[in-house]
Structure 1
Amino acid sequence: MEKQQKQSPAMMLLRLLQGALIGLGAVLPGISGGVLCVIFGIYRPVMELLSDPKKHYKTHLPRLAPVFLGMGIGFLGVANLLAFFLERYPNQSVCLFVGLIGGMLPSLMKQAGEKGRSKGSWISLLVAFTVVLGLLVGLELFSVQVTPSVLWYLFCGFCLALSMIAPGMSFSTLLMPLGLYTPFVEGLGRLRPSVLVPGVLGAVVTIVLLAKAVDRLFERHYSIAFHAIVGVVSAATLVIIPFRDMASSFAALLSDLICLAVGVVLALALDRFNARFPKE
């Protein structure tokens, strides 16, 4: 046990960088912090620590502390930059994010089928896709206006934590259709207490209540759970595509398509890098 707790400076730096990338993945639309945990081979120890900290903190916390520190740095460091681009170039930014998500979908499907696919897997994907698409389209058709508030920021914290404990679930895909992503990210980047406090509280409560349940769900029903996540991500991504902006002019269509293509290329490049990254 003692040997597991000792880390060289190089290993601590590596874990700090991994944490920073995971933090970036948690806030960047189209990328999941949970997926990056899987890619870096630390998802299982992270989930074990979150689901039962009393049992695992002595063996897991020393080697994961640099990861958590890096996550905070990566998350807060990019929040202001994202808020700027979403405010100045909203449609182009969204198209870039849609391209990132679309480029990652093949990788997500591959991960979803790592333990086989059953009839239930495809049913879970279809049901999740239909339910989420119907919900988000219904909100748009009935012009449901979501005004940011403490309760909604608690919900944002829930989605953020869920994106960490459920691989493949990007919290931006749920918040963008509701119009909550930009104010939430901007509030976090500027450390506004009205956003930061309920967001952190929602994330902590979610981890305490759901980490163990999600860990067991993926352990016992990996394929069904992961295919459901693919369905949620696909439906939420489809809703945020700015079709109206694309149809407004040729210049808008061209710029949006270029951003979509750039997003796909970046996602595929990241996927190729991930395939070569050594797992723990």
Structure 2
Amino acid sequence: MAKLAGPQLFNVFRGSLIGAAEAVPGISGGTVALITGVYEKLIGGAGHLTSAARMAVTDLPRGKGGARAAAEARKVDWAVVVPLLIGMAAALVLAAKLIAPLVKEHPQYSYAVFFGLVLASLWVPFSGSGRTWRPLDYLIGLAVAVGGFLLTGLPPAHVPTHPLIVAAAGAVAICALVLPGVSGSFILLTLGLYEPTIEAVNERNFGHLGAFAVGCLVGLALFVKLLKWLLEHYHHMTLVVMTGLMAGSLRALWPWQDDDRALLAPSGEVGLTVALALVGALVVVAVLIVEHRSKKRLENRPAGRGRHARVPTAPQTHADHAVDTRVS
């Protein structure tokens, strides 16, 4: 068990970074999952779970029990997913109390850190697509970036906090969670539901949170299977689109903007703001270095030693290879 404590704690830490990111408008938890190397593992696990739930429902009237559902659920790498979820849940609650107010009080400095973080993290989907980008890929990425830029420039609105509307917002927000470059919190902020949802977390308003959770489950079931299929069959193009989305989302994190999201010229403590952006970029560089060294250690481990010894396997598809090598 001692040998498992280190990896599990590291995955709790990864999950905490993802959960904290989701409490901040403008930065996507999917982006952080990409940076920390667990994105495709999470998408794969969510895909298997949604399939298991569907099988459990369809098999129940036939009297077949949950054998197929249980077999599908066993495909999830629970040793990775469970610590991630624990870290995400704990960090989301803490971030709602600590990070969200800090961003509200010091938006310029906070956004500067996240701007540098997302800017540096563009390297992850760009280099992880598995193929050299062609001119058409750059054009597609640019078009998606323009779309993301326009989306994140929409002025905030205010919709009623009716349970059905909250559930619909949850469905949209969870799609943003699993899609790098689009922030679920930013979507809620655009709809005027960010502060009510944060208050619901802090005040344990289970009516609001229950409607939101139902919407999240529906959105996850509808979207994650599509995304999993795209990663398996169109891995390169999917990451091209993700790169464009992340680039376009930088507009939401520009440190100088007003309450209506109009972009402003740099002013105030420009030097400190730029320095904080560099700190955010360096955090990403440090995480990528740790991931690279961890992967190298696994690749160089002698065969036949330890429970994770490498054994010959059947040839993998590119998407499978990406999933295996990006998670330590």
Shorter-chain-normalised TM-score: which range? Answer: 0.7 to 0.9
- Could you tell me how far 1:230 is from its partner in structure 2? 3.7
* Range that drifts further, 183-192 or 207-216: 183-192
Aligned match of 1:145: 157
* Range that drifts further, 17-26 or 223-232: 223-232
Q: TM-score, normalised by structure 1?
A: 0.75
Query: Aligned with 2:74: secondary structure?
Result: helix
Aligned match of 2:145: 129
The letter of the residue matching 1:58 is R
- Could you tell me how far 1:72 is from its partner in structure 2? 0.7
Q: Which structure: greater helix fraction? A: 1
Q: TM-score, normalised by structure 2?
A: 0.66
The letter of the residue matching 1:34 is G
Matches within 5 A, 1:232-243: 232-238=245-251, 241=254, 242-243=256-257
Query: Aligned with 1:243: secondary structure?
Result: coil
Q: Is the 8 A contact 1:26 1:163 kept in 2?
A: no
1:66 and 2:83 equivalent?
Answer: yes
Q: Is the 8 A contact 2:24 2:103 kept in 1?
A: no
Deviations 1:185-207 (A, max 9, x none): 33333332343123222221121
1:47 and 2:43 equivalent?
Answer: yes
Q: Is the 8 A contact 1:26 1:171 kept in 2?
A: yes
Query: Aligned with 1:146: secondary structure?
Result: coil
Q: 2:99 aligns with which of 63, 82, 86?
A: 82
- CA root-mean-square deviation: 3.6
Distance 1:94 1:155, change over 3 A: farther
Distance 1:68 1:46, change over 3 A: same
CA distance in 2, matches of 1:151, 1:258: 46
Percent identity, aligned pairs only? Answer: 20
CA distance in 2, matches of 1:71, 1:109: 24
CA distance in 2, matches of 1:109, 1:214: 20
1:154 and 2:144 equivalent?
Answer: no
Q: Is the 8 A contact 1:98 1:263 kept in 2?
A: yes
Distance 1:173 1:18, change over 3 A: same
CA distance in 2, matches of 1:225, 1:58: 26
CA distance in 2, matches of 1:275, 1:75: 23
Q: Is the 8 A contact 2:11 2:84 kept in 1?
A: yes
Aligned match of 2:199: 186
Q: 2:10 aligns with which of 9, 14, 39?
A: 14
Deviations 1:188-243 (A, max 9, x none): 33332343123222221121111121012123333433333343344444256553
Flag structure 2 segments of 5+ consecutive residues without an equivalent: 53-70, 296-327
Q: Is the 8 A contact 1:98 1:237 kept in 2?
A: no
Higher relative contact order (CA 8 A, sep 6+): 1
**Alignment: residue pair count:** 265
Q: Is the 8 A contact 2:169 2:212 kept in 1?
A: yes
Flag structure 1 segments of 5+ consecutive residues without an equivalent: none
